[in-house]
Structure 1
Amino acid sequence: MNSNDIQEFISFLTTRFKIEREKFDRSGVYAYTQRLLAYNSNKIEGSTLTEEQTASLFDHGTLPRSNDYYRAKDVEEMNGHFLMFNKMLDTLEEPLSQDLIKQFHYELKSGVFEDRANGYAIGDYKKRPNMIGMYQTVRPENVEAEMQILMDWYQHQSVTISVLSEFHAGYESIHPFQDGNGRTGRLLLFRECLKNTLIPVVIEDANRNEYLEALAECRKEHCTDKLTRLFEKEQAFYFDKCRYFC
Structure 2
Amino acid sequence: MTYKPDYLDDILVRMAYHSSGIEGNTISLPETVSIIIENSLPGNHKSIREFYEIENHKQAFNFLLDQLDVLPPLTVGLIQDFHALLTDRLQHDRGRFKTAQNAIIGAEFKTATPAETPYLMTQWADNTSYRLESAKSIPELLNVLADTHIQLERIHPFSDGNGRTGRLILMYLAMRYLKAPIIISKDDRAKYMELLANQDTAGLADLLKQSLDYEKERMNQF
Q: Same fold by TM (over 0.5)?
A: yes
- The 2-side partners of 1:229 and 1:108 are apart by 27
- The 2-side partners of 1:208 and 1:56 are apart by 24
Residue equivalent to 1:233: 210
Deviation readout 1:56-115 (Å, 9 max, x if unpaired)? 00112113332xx42111101111111111111112221111001101111111222xx3
- The 2-side partners of 1:240 and 1:70 are apart by 36
Residue equivalent to 1:96: 74
Q: Which amino acid aligns with 1:61?
A: N
TM-score (norm 2): 0.90
Q: Does 1:162 align with 2:143?
A: yes
Residue equivalent to 1:25: none
Give the fraction of aligned pairs with identical amino acids, expressed as a percent: 30
Cα drift, residue 236 of structure 1: 1.8
Match of 1:199 among 180, 183, 187: 180
- The 1-side partners of 2:221 and 2:40 are apart by 27
Residue equivalent to 2:87: 109
Match of 2:97 among 114, 125, 148: 125
SS of alignment partner, residue 12 of structure 1? coil
- The 2-side partners of 1:187 and 1:64 are apart by 24
Q: Number of paired residues?
A: 211
4+ long deviations beyond 6 Å: none
Contact 1:146 1:174 survives alignment (8 Å): yes
- The 1-side partners of 2:42 and 2:123 are apart by 46
Q: Which amino acid aligns with 2:81?
A: Q
Contact 1:48 1:71 survives alignment (8 Å): no
Q: Which amino acid aligns with 1:85?
A: F
Residue equivalent to 2:116: 142
TM-score (norm 1): 0.81
Contact 2:34 2:42 survives alignment (8 Å): yes
Cα drift, residue 152 of structure 1: 2.4
Cα drift, residue 156 of structure 1: 2.0
Cα drift, residue 237 of structure 1: 2.2
Cα drift, residue 198 of structure 1: 4.4
Match of 2:195 among 214, 218, 224: 214
- The 1-side partners of 2:43 and 2:88 are apart by 26
- The 2-side partners of 1:212 and 1:198 are apart by 26
SS of alignment partner, residue 72 of structure 2? coil
User: Which structure 2 segments of 5+ residues have no match?
Assistant: 136-140
Contact 1:80 1:107 survives alignment (8 Å): yes
Q: Does 1:71 align with 2:62?
A: no
Deviation readout 1:213-235 (Å, 9 max, x if unpaired)? 110110xxxx4111111111111
Residue equivalent to 1:177: 158
Q: Which amino acid aligns with 2:15?
A: L
- The 2-side partners of 1:205 and 1:131 are apart by 21
SS of alignment partner, residue 136 of structure 1? coil
Residue equivalent to 1:8: none
Contact 2:73 2:129 survives alignment (8 Å): no
- The 1-side partners of 2:149 and 2:166 are apart by 6
Q: Which amino acid aligns with 2:85?
A: E
Match of 1:86 among 58, 62, 68: 62
Cα drift, residue 196 of structure 1: 1.1
